[in-house]
Structure formats: C-alpha cells, structure tokens
A and B are shown apart, each in its own frame.
Chain A
C-alpha cells in the first residue's frame, strides 16, 4: 500500500482504455443509465454523432481507475472533477495521462489529460484529490 511519502509533485501515471461496441451496453446495465444515445446507433445519429457515444460517467470511471491505481486505494480519493469536452464514440481509445501537481499536508492533488486516438481532448479540467 502506498503511503504519503511515496508521492512527489511531478509523478506521472497513465491508463489506456477502449470503448468497444458492448461497453456502453454493459455500462448501462451496471450504472442504470440507459439513455438510448448510448445504446442505439440510430438515435445517436439523430443527435448528430457518428455512432453510439459512451456515457460520460464511464469516461469519468476510467479517470477514477487511473487515479486509484496511482493513489493505491479507491477510498483515499476525496474529490474528483471533470468537464466532458468531447464525446467518446464507440471504437475510440482514450489515453489518460496524469501528473501529481502538489503534496501538501495529507493531501495529494493530480491533474489528468484524456485524449482520444486522434489526440483530441475528451475531458478538460480533470482533477482528483486524495488524502493520506
């Protein structure tokens, strides 16, 4: 298990996840978010997207997984914040690149960039705080 002294500003971490065809369906089942825009390609097209789009909360769950792997413990996370700046479409691969920005008292803060396979940002202002 990681301890406070294991964290340094400037630490980096990375996570890569892919939104396959089934993920929005599975995520709907486990989260309860069955908005058809995530499930039905035709509805997504009506809304102006090329295909079904992943639930933003699933992208946020990926962000949380990236941060949790760095912090070492899911319940150390005290705050988590994101802006969904671009939809993740079925078939997209998202790379999360995190950086520790500060360690002050018991609080470790990180900022995370999330980009798709074309290098476009899918999240803005993604950040997390953990307490040790």
Chain B
C-alpha cells in the first residue's frame, strides 16, 4: 500500500540530546571494529584519535573530543524513526530499508553540547513497487548554531 502523500509536512520533535564523551568514544570504537563499553579492548582499527582519545583530542586544534561525521544518527535520527513507525503512515517495518542518506555540517559537535532536533516529512513518492519517504531534520546546539541538516530516505518494498 502506497504511503499517502498527504503526510508531506508532518513534523516530529523537537528532541533534545546532551552529547557525552563516552557515547562519542563508544560510537567511534564500535564503528572501527572495537568493543564499546567497560570491557572494551582497544579502539578498533582506524578510529580517528580525536574521536576516541581524550589526551590526543585535548592537544588537537579543537581542544576536546569531537563527534565523527555520522554521529548524528544518535541525536538526529529520531524524527525519521518515528515517521517510519508512525501508525498514520502505516509502513510495514519488515519491508523497510534505509535507501539514501545525506548530511550537511555546521558547527562542531562536542561533549556537553545540548542539541535540539526537529524533523519533517518532505517527500513521499512511488516508483513501481517501491515507496519512498524522505524526512529532513535540522539540529541546533545550545548557542543556536546549526550543527546538522539530514535528509533521511526510506524505501518500502512492495
């Protein structure tokens, strides 16, 4: 069943997240093939030191750990996840896949930042047996600076 285009304009949020050093480090560690958490064994192979090593990060031009580029999944994905599971949209999760993703970056994200994200369904379209849903998110930090714009595209296989 096709997603009804009248849902374009549907909004989700705002959602608030406080960024913490441990979450940045665990995220970068897991992605690089390491084990996150207290029993972690090393930081995986190839995590950037400024995302996992507080000492190295302190000596960097940024002066603290910084979030890696796709860390936005932890604070900006919620509107997309809620749209995909919204009973009004009626998407069958077993047939849902993440189809495309685009990010534009603004201010640096660091531990201690308080981020606020809002999202909106900006496009619904069908192509043959496939339905596409695009949610645009925008995230600002505690100083009002924009840190991230995300375009999250889901495909529902017919």
Bind each other: yes
Complex interface residues of chain B between 47 and 104 (CB less than 8 A to chain A)? 47-48, 50-51, 61-62, 66-70, 73-74, 77, 81, 93-95, 97-104
Bound complex: CA A90 to CA B123 (Å): 32
Bound complex: CA A79 to CA B36 (Å): 27
Is there contact, CB below 8 Å, between B103 and A83? no
Complex interface residues of chain B between 141 and 157 (CB less than 8 A to chain A)? none
What are the residues of chain A within 8 A of B48 when measuring CB–CB? 65, 68-69, 73-74
Is there contact, CB below 8 Å, between B36 and A84? no
B131 within 8 A of partner (CB): no
What are the residues of chain B within 8 A of A15 when measuring CB–CB? 46
Q: On chain B, which size bracket covers the interface? A: 35 or more
What are the residues of chain B within 8 A of A29 when measuring CB–CB? 26, 30, 36-37
A26 within 8 A of partner (CB): yes
Tally of contact residues, A, Cβ under 8 A: 43
B43 to chain A, nearest CB (A): 12
From DSSP, what is the main secondary structure of chain B's interface residues?
mixed
What are the residues of chain A within 8 A of B46 when measuring CB–CB? 15, 65, 69
Complex interface residues of chain A between 11 and 43 (CB less than 8 A to chain B)? 15, 17-18, 20, 22-23, 26-27, 29-33, 35, 37, 43
Which of B30, B61, B67, B103 sits near A79, CB closer than 8 Å? B103
Is there contact, CB below 8 Å, between B30 and A23? yes
What are the residues of chain A within 8 A of B104 when measuring CB–CB? 78-79
**A interface vs B, CB < 8 Å?**
1, 15, 17-18, 20, 22-23, 26-27, 29-33, 35, 37, 43, 46-47, 55-58, 60-62, 64-65, 67-69, 73-75, 77-84, 87
Interchain residue pairs with CB less than 8 A apart (6) = A30-B30, A61-B31, A62-B31, A74-B67, A84-B98, A87-B97
